[in-house]
A and B are shown apart, each in its own frame.
Chain A
Amino acid sequence: MLILSDVAKRFYDPGRGPVAAVDGIDLTLDAGVVALVGANGAGKSTLLRLIATLMKPDHGRITVAGIDAVAEPAAVRRTLGYLSTTTRLWPRLTVAEVLQLAGGFHGLTGDLLAERTAAVAETFGLAPILGQRVSGLSTGQAQRLGLARTLIADPDLIILDEPTTGLDVVAARAFIDSVRTIIRPGRLVLFATHIVAEVSALADRLVVLAHGQVVADGAPAAVAGDLDLAEAIHRLLSEPA
C-alpha cells in the first residue's frame, strides 16, 4: 500500500542551519490503522505531507499503491484522503457543495456523486445540514465534514494529522467513533497523534518518530512491552538524538 524508502526532508532554520525534519525513513505500511506518534517537531506532519504530495522529499522514494509520489503527484492524490488539524474547509460553500467538490475532483459524477454524497453525509450525521454553509458549523461538525470529505471517493489510504486537536472531549470522542466506522479491509488509516488513548483505541500498529527517524515500530503492545504504553512512548521520546 505505502512504501517509504530512505525518505529525507530538510528545512533551513536561520538559527540552527539545515534541520532534518525527516531523516532517512524506511517504512512499508499495509492495510490497517497505523498511529504515528512523536514529540513536537519530530517530523510527523512533514512525513504525512510528503505522503500527501504537499511536499517533495529531498531524498528517497515514496510510492502509494505502486505510484511514485514525486513523478505522479496527482495520481497519488486520487488514491488518498488527507485531513490535518491545519486544514480548513471553504466557509462560503455549503456542506453538500464541499462534498460534491471533493467528489468531483476525485472523478465522481452524476448519480454516483449524489449517491456517495448522501452515503457519507448519512454516515457522519451531516444529512440534516447539507444545505448549511461551512461558516455556520460547529468545530466538531466541521471536523466530521472534513473526514467525510476525505472519504467521498472511498480511497484506500486515509491520512489524518492530529485530527482531534482543538475538539472538546465529547467531540473528540465522537470523532474517534467516526474514524472507527471508516476502517475496512484493504484500507490504510495513517494518523498522527499526541494522545495515547487514541492509539490504544484505534491503532493496530504504532510508529514512534523522534528527530525525524523511526525509533519504534510494531503493534502497540509490542512497543510498550512490560510498560504502560504512555510510559513506553515517553521513554522513547526522552532518549537523546
Chain B
Amino acid sequence: MNWNHLRLAIGKESREILRDRRTLFLHLVLPALLYPLLALFLLQVGQVAKLATVAPPRLALIDAPPELVQAVEAALIAPESPGSPPTATRSPRADAVALAPADHAAVGAAIRRLAALRPSSQLDNRSQPESESPAEAAARAQIATELRRLHLACALWVERDEHPAPATGRRLRTILVIDDGAGRRGSAPAVAEEAVAAWKRAMVEARLTAAGLPPAALTPITAETWPVAARAEALRSALAGILPMLLALLATSGVFMVAVDLMAGERERGSLETLLSLPAGRRELFLGKLVVAVGAGVGAVALNLLSLAATLGIAASHFRQAGPSLPLDGLLSAGIGTLVLAFVVLVPVTILLGSLSLAMAGLAATTREAQNQLTPLLLSVVVAASISLIPDARPGWAMDLVPVAGPLLALRECLLVNDPPWMHLLLALGGSLAWAWVVTGWAVRLLDEESFCYPGLVRAGWGRWRRWGEAPPSPGALEALGLFALCFGLFIGLQPLLAMAGPLAEVAGPLMAALLLPVLLHCWLGNHDLRQTLFLTMPKRQAWLAAGIAVPFAGCASLAWLGLQEIYLPKDLYPHAMAEKLTTLQHAIGPVGLLVLVTITPGLCEEPLFRGTLLAGLRRGIGDRGAIVVTSFLFAAMHLSPWRFFPQFTLGIFLATLVLRTGSIWPAVVVHALHNGLMVLPFIEPWVKERNEPTLWALLALGVTGLWFASRLVRR
C-alpha cells in the first residue's frame, strides 16, 4: 500500500465531491434540512387547524338524571397529569349540549324504539349485533339521521324508570349512540363512558354504604404498573426496531449518489482514462474513492440523526408548552453508549455498501445506467434491513454472516436487551468487513480490467462457451464465491434429504454431492487449469515433511480451542447432535469405518472447494493473505457450529498457507484427514475436560507456533 498515493486519491475525490455542491446539497444537506422544515410546516398547519376547529364535538344527554349530568360535567375536563398546565387554561374535551324539547323527544323516541327491539344484555356491551331485522335497521338509521341533523357526535340515553334503581335493585339501562360514520367524534364517547362509569360507581358505593359495607369493599385489589428502567434505557429499547433500519437506509442514500458520481461520473466526464494512466496503484485509487463514499454515508447518517434529534427536541418542547408532553423529548438522552454502538455497527455496513456500490457503478457506462444498476441494490438493502422490523427475528450464527441483515439484527438485539450478544455482534461485524474486503478486492481487479476503462469492448464469454481468446487459468473471486454459495446451499438442502437414506449417506452424501462434485464440474465447464485452480500437482518432499510435522500441532491447537471453549462458551452451544450422529455411525459401521468416514471423506471433499477453487479465485481478487483469511473464515463458518469455528479457522489458515507455499493440495488433504482422525479418538474429550486454563492456553500457543514453523519449512 502506497500511503502517499492513497492520501492523494482521497484528497482528489474529496475535492471533487465537496465542489459538486448540487449533489452534496441534494443528497446530504437537503434531507437533513427536511426534518425541521417539515416539522415547522406541520406545527403551522396544526396551529391553523386548531384555530379552525373551535367547536368541540357535541354530546347530548337524553333523560339523564342529575347525578349523571354532574358526572358528565366532571368528565368534560380531563384529569390533570404531572407536568400538565393548570385546568383553567385547558379546553374541554367535548361540549355537553342541551337539546330543544322537540329535538330531545325525537332523539329519545328513536333510541327508545331501537332499545325495545334489542333486549338489554346482562353485561356491558360495546359490540354491534351480527345481524339486525329491518325494523332495527330502520330505527338505527333514524338515530343516525337525528344525530347528524343536530350535529351530535353521540347521545347518551337513560331508560326512564318510575322506581329509582337503588330502592328496587333493578338494573338501569343506559345506551350511548355514536355516529361512527363521522370522523370528528373526538373525546365525546370517552367522556360519556367515563361519566356512566363514575355514576355507576357512586351508585354502587351508595348501595354498599346502605348495606353497612365500606366503599373500599368495591376494590379489594389494586393493580399498579411501574416502569422502572431509566429513561434512556426505555428509549433505547423503543428505538431498537426502527433505528437499525433507519441507519442502513440513511447510509445507503448517502453512499449511493457519491459512488455514482465518483465512478460512473468520472467515466462520463472522460477523466477515468487520465486517472488510470497515472502511476497510482488501482487499490489506492479505489480505496480513495471508498473512503470518501463511506465518509459521505456516515456523514449523511450523522447529519440526519442530528437534524432529526434537534427537530424532535424542538417539537417536544413546543408541545410541552402547549399541551400534554410527548414521549419524544427524551431522544437526546438516549445515551452515548447507544450512539457509539450504532456507529460501530454502521461503519462496517457502510464500508460494505460503499465498496459494493462503487464496484457496481464502475460497471456502468453512464451515471444514468449506474443509477439504474444501483436501484436493485437499494431495494435489496431495504429488504435486508427490514428484517430488523420483524419482532421475533433473533441473531443466529448463520444469520450473522448475511450482509446488512446480520449486523442490523445484532444491533437491534443489543438495543433490546441489557446483556448484549457480543459474540453475534463481533461475528456480524467481522462478516461485514470480510464481505467488504472481498468486494473491494474484486473492484480493485475490476479497475485493472481494460473493459472497465473501455466498456465498449465485447466480452468473450465463459468457459466452454467462450467465443474467442483464452480462458483464465483459474476463476475470479466472484465466480469462486458464487460456487461457494451454490455448494453451501446444496450442502444445507441435501442433508435432510439424504438423512432418510441412513446415517452414512447423511454424512458422506452432502460432502460428495454438494462439495466435491460441483467443484469438479465447475472446473470442467469453466475450462480451468486443474493445476492452478485445484492445485492438483505433486508436491516436493519438503511439503510431506511439513505436513507430517503439522498434524500433531494442528491437533494441539484444536484440542486447546475445544478445552477453552468448554470454559468460555455457553454449554448450550455444544454440538450435541453431531456427537449423537457420530455415536450412531459408530454403531452402524464400526469404529474403523467411522475413522475412515470422518478422515478421508472430508479431506477429499472439502479441500478441493476451500483450498482449491475458493483459494485460487480469491487470491486473484484480494491477494494471498486475504484469500487465506476469507477461505478459512468460510471454511469455519460452513461447519455451522460456534463450537467448531475457532478450531476450523485455525486449521484453515494453516491448510491454505500450506497449499500456497507448496503449490499442491495433497499435503493439505492429508493434514485435514489426520487432524480429523485425531479429533474423534475416544480418549480426547475426557482428556480435554481434565486440563486447566493455563495449560490450554499454553497448548494453543504451542499448536499455533508449531503450525507456523511447519508452514515455514516449505519454500515457495
Decide if A and B are genuine partners: yes
Known: A101-B8, A105-B280. 9 other contacts (CB 8 A): A11-B457, A49-B450, A54-B277, A74-B281, A82-B277, A87-B273, A92-B20, A105-B279, A149-B274
Flag whether B394 is at the interface (Cβ < 8 A).
Answer: no
Q: Specify which chain B residues have a CB less than 8 angstroms from the CB of A144 in the assembled complex.
A: none
Closest to B470 in A: A58
Flag whether A106 is at the interface (Cβ < 8 A).
Answer: yes
A-contact bits for B445-472, CB 8 A (1 contact / 0 none): 0000010011001111000000111000
Q: Specify which chain A residues have a CB less than 8 angstroms from the CB of B89 in the assembled complex.
A: none
Taken together as a complex, chains A and B put the C-alpha atoms of A11 and B468 apart, in Å, by 9
Pick the residue among A92, A105, A149 that contacts B5 (CB under 8 A): A105
Pick the residue among B269, B279, B450, B469 that contacts A88 (CB under 8 A): B269
Taken together as a complex, chains A and B put the C-alpha atoms of A89 and B275 apart, in Å, by 9
Closest to A100 in B: B8
Taken together as a complex, chains A and B put the C-alpha atoms of A77 and B12 apart, in Å, by 19
Q: What would be 14 A-B contacts, judged by CB atoms less than 8 Å apart?
A: A10-B468, A10-B469, A12-B459, A13-B458, A18-B468, A54-B454, A55-B450, A74-B279, A92-B20, A93-B12, A101-B8, A104-B4, A105-B280, A106-B278
Interchain CB contact under 8 A, A97 and B15: yes
Pick the residue among A18, A58, A82, A90 that contacts B271 (CB under 8 A): A90
Flag whether A238 is at the interface (Cβ < 8 A).
Answer: no
Pick the residue among A49, A58, A89, A106 that contacts B274 (CB under 8 A): A89
Closest to A14 in B: B458
Mark A residues whose CB is within 8 Å of B.
10-14, 17-18, 49, 52, 54-56, 58, 74-75, 77-78, 82, 84, 86-93, 97, 101-102, 104-107, 109, 146, 149
Taken together as a complex, chains A and B put the C-alpha atoms of A105 and B12 apart, in Å, by 11
Interchain CB contact under 8 A, A90 and B12: yes
A74 in contact with B274 given A92-B16, A93-B12, A105-B5 (CB within 8 Å): no
Interchain CB contact under 8 A, B453 and A54: yes
A88 in contact with B270 given A101-B12, A105-B5 (CB within 8 Å): yes
Taken together as a complex, chains A and B put the C-alpha atoms of A96 and B364 apart, in Å, by 30
Flag whether B276 is at the interface (Cβ < 8 A).
Answer: yes
A8 to chain B, nearest CB (A): 11
Flag whether B126 is at the interface (Cβ < 8 A).
Answer: no
Closest to A146 in B: B274
A119 to chain B, nearest CB (A): 19
Flag whether B149 is at the interface (Cβ < 8 A).
Answer: no
Taken together as a complex, chains A and B put the C-alpha atoms of A109 and B3 apart, in Å, by 13
Q: Specify which chain A residues have a CB less than 8 angstroms from the CB of B281 in the assembled complex.
A: 74
Interchain CB contact under 8 A, A77 and B273: no
A82 to chain B, nearest CB (A): 4
Pick the residue among B8, B16, B270, B453 that contacts A105 (CB under 8 A): B8
Flag whether B19 is at the interface (Cβ < 8 A).
Answer: yes
Q: Specify which chain A residues have a CB less than 8 angstroms from the CB of B460 in the assembled complex.
A: 12
Q: Specify which chain B residues have a CB less than 8 angstroms from the CB of A146 in the assembled complex.
A: 274
Interchain CB contact under 8 A, B277 and A12: no
Interchain CB contact under 8 A, B468 and A87: no
Closest to B282 in A: A74
Closest to A56 in B: B450
Interchain CB contact under 8 A, B279 and A58: no
Query: Within residues 673 to 690 of chain B, which ones have a CB less than 8 A from any CB in chain A?
Result: none
Q: Specify which chain B residues have a CB less than 8 angstroms from the CB of A17 in the assembled complex.
A: 467-468
Q: Specify which chain B residues have a CB less than 8 angstroms from the CB of A88 in the assembled complex.
A: 269-271, 274
Closest to B268 in A: A88
Q: Specify which chain B residues have a CB less than 8 angstroms from the CB of A49 in the assembled complex.
A: 450
Taken together as a complex, chains A and B put the C-alpha atoms of A14 and B459 apart, in Å, by 10
Taken together as a complex, chains A and B put the C-alpha atoms of A92 and B14 apart, in Å, by 11
A86 in contact with B273 given A12-B468, A18-B468, A109-B4 (CB within 8 Å): yes
A80 to chain B, nearest CB (A): 8
Taken together as a complex, chains A and B put the C-alpha atoms of A12 and B467 apart, in Å, by 9
A58 to chain B, nearest CB (A): 7
B472 to chain A, nearest CB (A): 12
Taken together as a complex, chains A and B put the C-alpha atoms of A176 and B288 apart, in Å, by 36
Query: Within residues 459 to 514 of chain B, which ones have a CB less than 8 A from any CB in chain A?
Result: 459-460, 467-469
Interchain CB contact under 8 A, A93 and B468: no
Interchain CB contact under 8 A, B15 and A84: no
Interchain CB contact under 8 A, B279 and A92: no
Taken together as a complex, chains A and B put the C-alpha atoms of A65 and B480 apart, in Å, by 37
B408 to chain A, nearest CB (A): 35
Q: Specify which chain A residues have a CB less than 8 angstroms from the CB of B279 in the assembled complex.
A: 74-75, 77-78, 105-107
Pick the residue among B5, B271, B457, B467 that contacts A89 (CB under 8 A): B271
Closest to B450 in A: A55
A-contact bits for B568-602, CB 8 A (1 contact / 0 none): 00000000000000000000000000000000000
Q: Specify which chain B residues have a CB less than 8 angstroms from the CB of A149 in the assembled complex.
A: 274
Q: Specify which chain B residues have a CB less than 8 angstroms from the CB of A11 in the assembled complex.
A: 457-458
Q: Specify which chain A residues have a CB less than 8 angstroms from the CB of B454 in the assembled complex.
A: 54-55
Pick the residue among A14, A18, A54 that contacts B273 (CB under 8 A): A54
Query: Within residues 261 to 275 of chain B, which ones have a CB less than 8 A from any CB in chain A?
Result: 269-271, 273-274
A74 to chain B, nearest CB (A): 5
Q: Specify which chain A residues have a CB less than 8 angstroms from the CB of B457 in the assembled complex.
A: 11-12
A-contact bits for B10-27, CB 8 A (1 contact / 0 none): 011001100110000000
Taken together as a complex, chains A and B put the C-alpha atoms of A107 and B279 apart, in Å, by 9
Taken together as a complex, chains A and B put the C-alpha atoms of A78 and B279 apart, in Å, by 5
Closest to B451 in A: A55
Q: Specify which chain A residues have a CB less than 8 angstroms from the CB of B274 in the assembled complex.
A: 87-90, 146, 149
A86 in contact with B270 given A93-B15, A97-B15, A105-B8 (CB within 8 Å): yes
B265 to chain A, nearest CB (A): 10
What 5 pairs between A and B have smallest CB-CB spacing?
Answer: A88-B270, A77-B279, A78-B279, A82-B277, A92-B19
Q: Specify which chain A residues have a CB less than 8 angstroms from the CB of B453 in the assembled complex.
A: 54
Taken together as a complex, chains A and B put the C-alpha atoms of A49 and B274 apart, in Å, by 11
A-contact bits for B206-232, CB 8 A (1 contact / 0 none): 000000000000000000000000000
Q: Specify which chain A residues have a CB less than 8 angstroms from the CB of B16 in the assembled complex.
A: 90, 92-93
A-contact bits for B607-649, CB 8 A (1 contact / 0 none): 0000000000000000000000000000000000000000000
A-contact bits for B423-452, CB 8 A (1 contact / 0 none): 000000000000000000000000000100
Q: Specify which chain B residues have a CB less than 8 angstroms from the CB of A106 in the assembled complex.
A: 278-279
Closest to A93 in B: B15
Interchain CB contact under 8 A, A92 and B468: no
Q: Specify which chain B residues have a CB less than 8 angstroms from the CB of A87 in the assembled complex.
A: 270-271, 273-274, 277
Taken together as a complex, chains A and B put the C-alpha atoms of A56 and B281 apart, in Å, by 16
Interchain CB contact under 8 A, B271 and A77: no
Q: Specify which chain B residues have a CB less than 8 angstroms from the CB of A107 in the assembled complex.
A: 4, 279
Q: Specify which chain A residues have a CB less than 8 angstroms from the CB of B8 in the assembled complex.
A: 101, 104-105
Q: Specify which chain B residues have a CB less than 8 angstroms from the CB of A93 in the assembled complex.
A: 12, 15-16
A67 to chain B, nearest CB (A): 11
Taken together as a complex, chains A and B put the C-alpha atoms of A77 and B2 apart, in Å, by 15
Closest to A106 in B: B279
A135 to chain B, nearest CB (A): 10
Interchain CB contact under 8 A, B4 and A58: no
Q: Specify which chain A residues have a CB less than 8 angstroms from the CB of B19 in the assembled complex.
A: 92
Taken together as a complex, chains A and B put the C-alpha atoms of A230 and B12 apart, in Å, by 44
B348 to chain A, nearest CB (A): 29
Closest to B453 in A: A54
Closest to B448 in A: A73
Taken together as a complex, chains A and B put the C-alpha atoms of A87 and B15 apart, in Å, by 20
Taken together as a complex, chains A and B put the C-alpha atoms of A101 and B454 apart, in Å, by 23
B341 to chain A, nearest CB (A): 37
Q: Specify which chain A residues have a CB less than 8 angstroms from the CB of B280 in the assembled complex.
A: 74, 105
Choose among A12, A13, A49, A84 the residue with the greatest number of B CB atoms under 10 Å from its CB.
A12
Closest to A52 in B: B277
Interchain CB contact under 8 A, B278 and A102: yes
B275 to chain A, nearest CB (A): 8
